[in-house]
Structure 1
Amino acid sequence: MTDSRKQPAPCGTWTSPITAHVVAAGSAPLSGVMLDGADVYWLAGRASEGGRNTLLRRRAGATEELKSELTPSPFNVRTRVHEYGGGAALVADGTVWFSHFADNRLYRLDGGGAPQPVSAGGDLRYADFVLDKARNRLVGVREDHSAGATYPVNTLCAIDFDGRETVLVDGNDFYSAPRISPDGKHLAWISWDLPRMPWQGTELWLAEIGPDGTLLDGRMIAGGGQVDGGEAIVQPEWSPDGVLHFVSDRCGWWNLYRYEHGVVHALSPRHAEFATPPWVFGNSMYGFLSNSEIVCTYIEDGVSRLARMQVASGAMTPIETPYEEIRELRVCGNTIAFLGGSPTLAAELVRMDLTQGTREVLARSIAQLPDVGYLSVPQSIRYPSADGRTSYAFYYAPKNADFAPQPGELPPLMVIGHGGPTSMAPSTLKLAIQFWTSRGIAVLDVNYGGSTGFGRAYRDLLAGRWGIVDVEDCVAGARYLADQGLVDRERLVIRGGSAGGLTTLCALLFHDVFKAGASYYGVSDLKGLDADSHKFESRYTEYLIAPPERAAAVYAERSPINHADKLRRPMIFFQGLDDKVVPPPQSEVMVDALRARGLPVAYLTLEGEGHGFRKADSIVRTLEAELYFYLRVFGIPVPAGLPAIEIENLSA
């Protein structure tokens, strides 16, 4: 039934307070949560400053007015180890160490002074540090780009406070999560080698720290196994009394374990995920209240929970919060801090005192939320997909306090395939989705086979079938909603970034369902991806597509660029010119192919942007261009004030 108080208008033209400028200015990425006692530190992304990450602090008991920015411009707290970074800062006893993106150097910040350089930087990059207090040094991951080899050399390295560096562990392709025992006598860490990614198989190592600071008696204590069926271990942590804990998917789900007296014990087995794929350093989903109690967050059916876990019994006691996505959980004493979000709450930084039961919001990714009348609350849906499997997604119906579809009109649908492709689409409020729904365009955010949050078997559905399973699940979701009479099957579009760009292209090539698409720095040439890829992902396609002996044939069969003759739908492409993960030629070859075929195509390049757009003007430009593109393609009136873009081969 149509709300008589709302004005009927064509879907896609509704006036909305959630403008592209609001999306760009209103969403400040929050990350890098750290606790030092009850003081909370975190990183905030500044789109208005070219995407700079700055370090903020909120002391215990301080008011919002006493929040401190510790790294003013030009400091950019960011690292490019593995290209994706993370783990760029460390705080202990009021002292901060951080990586500065511009020169790759480590800096030390004491009290209210200016940051002082510690390391050489240049061709050396650093991440995931831990303080070795007894030896006045940091231990972390170092990535050396100076050797002139095809790929950099990764090691675990000690960096003395005077700048001297000592390699502690080498020989593996990758390292992460160095963790020193409370008594300072042992170091645990994770390593893995190509062709694995760290969610396919890793090894957990343990060594004694000798009197001279070198490592003795290094031994693997868990992990290893076959390339495709290996145990993936993440986030080792020491309990206050010196017992090593970690998360492993050896049971088919990322669960918590402890290593004691040479034996691995499961803490609380359940069909839930206590970890996410470590695309970046510094992920944390549990910490210790005491020797006997853990605070943890875990994912069930795509939704996060927060709980206290008894180490001895594995008993779980829920901690009530309003959040359905919880990440970057840190624990210190009875204080916890994390990033939380829900369908009606954008990501926010939270500090909780578990003794007093208080919860305090310290920062919000969106300073001021739009009126609820313009916010679409997603519905979690399951639907049938190919081969009898079930797929998962969040469906957002159009929502606007002032407008409704014209009589008899069904809204267009935008299907989103997330990147990764092993990441996950959460339900946390995102203005970038509300931008579309508040204009009358429905959105389906798909957690296709291969996504995180549903166990290893679901994650492994993508093994050898990237560009197939993800595409099938997006296609099935669009058809499901059209069959339910919720959306217009003649106005179905698909968009995706990075890996989601490949999903978009394959969906348009091999299925006659979507009428248009948008690729954000998407993959079009699998062979070219291998040739241009950085070390971290250099052999990921062996898992996603095919091993080397079969790669040529499968790449040719599945790469969109080889099937441009099958593409009959308009597309728009967005590409950062500094992207090292999916370089510009990946978009350009597809744009050229569409041009040659005379199909409607638009191509927007962005200087100074890499893999993912950080600058405010880039966010505004791409959103407005994508909206303009769809309106023109579907013959929907273009609202006044929406900037025009060039669409080649599109008749007036």
Structure 2
Amino acid sequence: MTHPFGGITLSLTFFLLLNACSPEGESGRAPNGNQDARIVAPYGSWASPLGAADVYEQSDNIAELQSVGGAICFAESEGTSGGRVGIKRLEPDGRVSQSIPAAFNVGTKVHEYGGAAFLGIGQSLFVSKKEDQLFYRFAPNQPELALTPNGTRHADCISYPKGSRIICVREDHRGAGEAKASLVTINLNFPGEGDTLVSGHDFIAAPTLSQDNSQLAWLTWEHPDMPWDNTVLWLGQLDRKGQLQNVHQVFKGKRGALTQPLFSPDGTLYVVADFNNWWNIYRIAADGTAENILPRKAEFAVPDWRLGHHNYAFESPGVLIASFTRQGEAFLARIHLDTGVVEQLAADFAEISQVISGEDAVYFVGAKTTPERGIYKVTGRGVELMYAPQLPRLKPEYVSKARAITFATAGNKSAYGYFYAPVNPHFIGPHDSRPPLLVMLHGGPTAKASLAYRSDIQFWTSRGFAVLDVNYRGSSGFGRKFRQSLYGLWGKADVEDAVYGARYLVDRGWVDGDKLAIRGSSAGGLTALSSLAFYDVFKAGVSYGGISDMTVLAKETHKFESHYLEKLVGPYPEAKDLYHARSPLHHLQGLNEPLLLVQGLDDKVVPPSQSMSIFNALKRKGVPTAFVGFEGDGTGFWRTEDRTSALEAELSFYGQVFGFRPAGELPGLQLENAGALKHKLAAVEP
């Protein structure tokens, strides 16, 4: 980290100001309570102890947990290893060891987004390798062994002790056309094709076994549904030879998004379903009827963009530990299934995931609004932190706390967001000024903004930016109806919500209406581009692998999302005119503000041609623009060095557009048509 004032040059025009005015929500005071001790400097130019490299190079992230032989194994991406993923082992006494180095890079591309990439059995680990997608065995005193053939992908694996086998979700990419989905068994000791248990569905996920290995449950769904639309829960019996018998659909004729099936220790099947608009946990009786064990206007699940989500686990045969979110806040509860008594275990978390049963207790991954995140253990009526990954730490006086907001949007609807005011104990903005605003948009679009602490947000707020993290219509976490309220309206409702959210903050006097920027990735990138093309509100935009032409996406995207646009926009080509009308690439007459495009050149979800097309068009038009591409990177820019470079380029971009000099040394960013910005740059000259 650098010193708070490292590398900054203060102009003679900076001065100390008595009774300085700050936006509502800003702390407005130095650590000693003396406002006068702070330096008056333009918003955005403040020196921060959190550099771009700190955000990513010093940040590790736990992806998933698994109970293995009395210990907890977990996948962790390591910032110092460029975001590559290894496997670590947490012992009950707190000792942590490295089982598979990050250099191996554990990861699967099933459904493109992956998840559930490893399985532990005793002292052995079975993992997918991101580079070749083969499924490897790591066993004591034996060389690593690839068990699966080239051209196949495996994930969501579970142990099936009979015959020393593993049951996995497989995607077979060896044939023509779409990849074929199946549920297969793999021998633990010998490479081979494996045996097929289930096939004939577009998608298969979440296999789970009863403890006596006699029952197998799993999920399927078919085009054009996504897993958060409608899925089917199946149940079958496994005979002594491991063959499936008496396979039948649970809840036949009842539609909903079912997820996370799990057997209790006594063999009762549970599942999360949104039959009542909210993802609640249901217990399935022997006659197939379902009982909602804890009816709540809350979400006990998240959309299955990735495999391997776990929101609940059994502490004992009659006691369940479950996490849920309500109005953006995360909760952990102990549910006594026989009596219905509910105990609240933790309410100070912003995110709770990977709730699993260990041999001695229930464990989970928790994140707070402060820089605290790690693996926790449920102990009595509380929780205990067992392991914390490496995180960039900010002193409390630098941390901006989110304020949850609800605002009116178009059509008398409501949208949500989290507002972060600029916070830095050493700086304050000039008198009677307001900070620039960055409107952040999550991808998906069926994902969500979270209250959990994010270093990338604090990177901006500690420099003098305000941030609005938007949960636009279509976001998860607010029930099925809100999640589906974007259907047919993508490229319209989400754009309206971003625009109305920014206006809401301007009207309240919290931000500068002349310095509004919008940024997003993938689907969020489309919203950012469309906001610039169809509205005259934002003065700058940044697109990370954003979609500019819906038509191209409809023709080129991968299997998992190949029919998603039928829900979001309409069937293609029948709705061709609507695709054209909502594609910012075809409406550049309205896009006249500076734009930065950041793109992974190996992106299979949003082809790089989308960003290049809009970049070339704006360059010809004379709009200030820049394109930053990263070789070998795909969706999300997973490599640490690329994320760092992109964040620095974005800061440089805002400095040029809004006329301030960022603190510290940044690599140069060359804007095409930069001449249009000269009058703005002159504003920072002494």
TM bucket, shorter chain = over 0.9
Post-superposition offset of 1:47: 3.3
Post-superposition offset of 1:222: 2.4
Instruction: For residues 309-330 of structure 1, give each alpha carbon's deviation from its aligned partner in whole angstroms, at most 9, with x where no partner exists.
Output: 1223433210035312111111
Alignment of 1:89-488 (within 5 A): 89-111=118-140, 113=141, 116-147=144-175, 149-161=176-188, 162-164=190-192, 165-222=194-251, 230-262=255-287, 263-320=289-346, 322-354=348-380, 357=382, 359-366=384-391, 368-488=392-512
The answer to whether 1:505 aligns with 2:533 is no
User: Do the aligned partners of residues 120 and 645 (structure 1) sit closer, same or farther apart at CA in structure 2, a change above 3 Å counting?
Assistant: same
Instruction: For residues 64-122 of structure 1, give each alpha carbon's deviation from its aligned partner in whole angstroms, at most 9, with x where no partner exists.
Output: xxx211112541111001110001011233332111122222222334x4553252242
Which residue of structure 1 lines up, in the alignment, with residue 90 of structure 2?
58
Post-superposition offset of 1:414: 0.3
Question: Given that residues 50 and 394 in structure 2 are in contact (C-alpha distance below 8 angstroms), is that contact kept between their aligned partners in structure 1?
Answer: yes
Which residue of structure 2 lines up, in the alignment, with residue 81 of structure 1?
110
Amino acid at match of 1:301: Q
Which residue of structure 2 lines up, in the alignment, with residue 634 of structure 1?
658
Question: Given that residues 289 and 333 in structure 1 are in contact (C-alpha distance below 8 angstroms), is that contact kept between their aligned partners in structure 2?
Answer: no
User: Do the aligned partners of residues 440 and 73 (structure 1) sit closer, same or farther apart at CA in structure 2, a change above 3 Å counting?
Assistant: closer
Instruction: For residues 323-354 of structure 1, give each alpha carbon's deviation from its aligned partner in whole angstroms, at most 9, with x where no partner exists.
Output: 12111111235512222112113432223333
Question: Given that residues 392 and 447 in structure 1 are in contact (C-alpha distance below 8 angstroms), is that contact kept between their aligned partners in structure 2?
Answer: yes
Superposition TM-score, scaled by structure 1 size: 0.96
CA distance in 1, matches of 2:543, 2:224: 27
Post-superposition offset of 1:640: 5.0
User: Do the aligned partners of residues 313 and 590 (structure 1) sit closer, same or farther apart at CA in structure 2, a change above 3 Å counting?
Assistant: farther
Amino acid at match of 1:39: A
CA distance in 1, matches of 2:364, 2:402: 23
3-state SS in 2 of match to 1:457: helix
Question: Given that residues 201 and 223 in structure 1 are in contact (C-alpha distance below 8 angstroms), is that contact kept between their aligned partners in structure 2?
Answer: no
Which residue of structure 1 lines up, in the alignment, with residue 9 of structure 2?
none
Which residue of structure 2 lines up, in the alignment, with residue 543 of structure 1?
567
Superposition TM-score, scaled by structure 2 size: 0.91
CA distance in 2, matches of 1:135, 1:529: 44
Moved more, 403-412 or 607-616: 607-616
3-state SS in 1 of match to 2:181: strand
Instruction: For residues 558-604 of structure 1, give each alpha carbon's deviation from its aligned partner in whole angstroms, at most 9, with x where no partner exists.
Output: 11111112211110000001111111011111111111211000100
Post-superposition offset of 1:37: 5.6
CA distance in 1, matches of 2:340, 2:474: 29
| 1:559 equivalent among 583, 586, 607 | 583
CA distance in 1, matches of 2:299, 2:69: 28
3-state SS in 2 of match to 1:399: coil
Which residue of structure 2 lines up, in the alignment, with residue 20 of structure 1?
52
Question: Given that residues 267 and 313 in structure 1 are in contact (C-alpha distance below 8 angstroms), is that contact kept between their aligned partners in structure 2?
Answer: no
Question: Given that residues 202 and 223 in structure 1 are in contact (C-alpha distance below 8 angstroms), is that contact kept between their aligned partners in structure 2?
Answer: no
User: Do the aligned partners of residues 86 and 9 (structure 1) sit closer, same or farther apart at CA in structure 2, a change above 3 Å counting?
Assistant: same
CA RMSD between the two structures: 1.6
Post-superposition offset of 1:631: 1.0
Question: Given that residues 298 and 305 in structure 1 are in contact (C-alpha distance below 8 angstroms), is that contact kept between their aligned partners in structure 2?
Answer: yes
Amino acid at match of 2:655: L
Where structure 2 has 5 or more consecutive residues not aligned to the other structure, the ranges are: 1-18, 21-34, 679-686
Q: Where in structure 1 do 4 or more consecutive aligned residues deviate above 6 Å?
A: none
Which residue of structure 1 lines up, in the alignment, with residue 641 of structure 2?
617
Amino acid at match of 1:183: D
User: Do the aligned partners of residues 364 and 186 (structure 1) sit closer, same or farther apart at CA in structure 2, a change above 3 Å counting?
Assistant: same
Question: Given that residues 69 and 123 in structure 2 are in contact (C-alpha distance below 8 angstroms), is that contact kept between their aligned partners in structure 1?
Answer: no
The answer to whether 1:43 aligns with 2:75 is yes
Amino acid at match of 2:50: I
Moved more, 43-52 or 203-212: 43-52
Instruction: For residues 121-170 of structure 1, give each alpha carbon's deviation from its aligned partner in whole angstroms, at most 9, with x where no partner exists.
Output: 420110000100123100010000101x2211110111112234001111
Where structure 1 has 5 or more consecutive residues not aligned to the other structure, the ranges are: none
Question: Given that residues 38 and 335 in structure 1 are in contact (C-alpha distance below 8 angstroms), is that contact kept between their aligned partners in structure 2?
Answer: no
CA distance in 2, matches of 1:207, 1:537: 29
User: Do the aligned partners of residues 38 and 353 (structure 1) sit closer, same or farther apart at CA in structure 2, a change above 3 Å counting?
Assistant: farther
3-state SS in 2 of match to 1:48: helix
CA distance in 2, matches of 1:645, 1:223: 57
| 1:31 equivalent among 44, 47, 63 | 63
User: Do the aligned partners of residues 315 and 640 (structure 1) sit closer, same or farther apart at CA in structure 2, a change above 3 Å counting?
Assistant: closer
CA distance in 2, matches of 1:407, 1:73: 49
Question: Given that residues 232 and 248 in structure 1 are in contact (C-alpha distance below 8 angstroms), is that contact kept between their aligned partners in structure 2?
Answer: yes
Moved more, 182-191 or 68-77: 68-77
Question: Given that residues 32 and 89 in structure 1 are in contact (C-alpha distance below 8 angstroms), is that contact kept between their aligned partners in structure 2?
Answer: no
Identity %: 38
